[in-house]
Amino acid sequence: MIAESKYREVAGLPPVTITTIGSGGTSPYATALAEMFKQNLGVNVAIQQVESAERYYGELAKGRYQLFTFGWIADYPDPQDFLDILFHSESSAIYGTNYHNPEYDRIVREARAELEQDMRMDLYRKAQALLINDAPCVPISYNVRYTLTKPYVKGVIHAPLTLAWLRYVSIQHKVD
């Protein structure tokens, strides 16, 4: 990969820095990424922490970071929440990918307007395939949530994208 770049070899690379929010102890994600770059590519990566989230996201929106960590949780169960909001070149999201692919943008615009659900999902699959090929970001983790509910607690609805809905919850016996 480096041999095919304009730098040709590791020695020709400019300094590489990954920036993350935090202070004190280094982010485990940033540390792991830096170690992988070193082990697999021979590239030394410095880790920079920005203490203020306001400053971090402000600089991120301006495209000031080479590499950065970022988390996203879906607001609703639809590919639009990721593929359009995070990667369409006209998105107002401030998340710093600076991804621009006219074909991707065209497909996502078409998916936005498509009312037929199967066709819409096909369009988002095509957009996702382009995104995977272009690789403007590298997902490194996915959250898993575990919940336990006592047998006497009834009516709990476990929502996939948020905390459990408690509106219909009831206790079936007296709690000691």
7-37, pLDDT tens digit by residue?
888 888 888 999 998 877 778 889 999 999 9
Q: Which domain holds residue 6?
A: 1-69
Residue 131, pLDDT > 90, answer: yes
Same-domain pairing of 22 and 45: yes
In this prediction, residue 96 carries a pLDDT of: 66
Q: Which among 11, 9, 16 has a CA at the least distance from the CA of 47?
A: 16
Average pLDDT of the residues in 38-61: 91
Same-domain pairing of 8 and 65: yes
Cβ atoms within 10 Å, residue 37: 16
Residue 174, pLDDT > 70, answer: no
The tally of domains found in the chain comes to 3
Same-domain pairing of 151 and 136: no
Question: Where does a domain end: 54, 69, 84?
Answer: 69
DSSP letters for 51-77? S-HHHHHHHHHTT--SEE------SSS
Residue 93, pLDDT > 70, answer: yes
For 92-130, letters b (16+ CB in 10 Å) and e give: eeebbbebebeebbebbeebeeeeeeeebeebbebbbeb
State whether residue 157 is helix, strand or coil. Answer: strand
pLDDT range class, residue 3, cuts 50, 70, 90: confident
Angstrom distance (rounded) from CA 85 to CA 30: 24
Same-domain pairing of 84 and 33: no
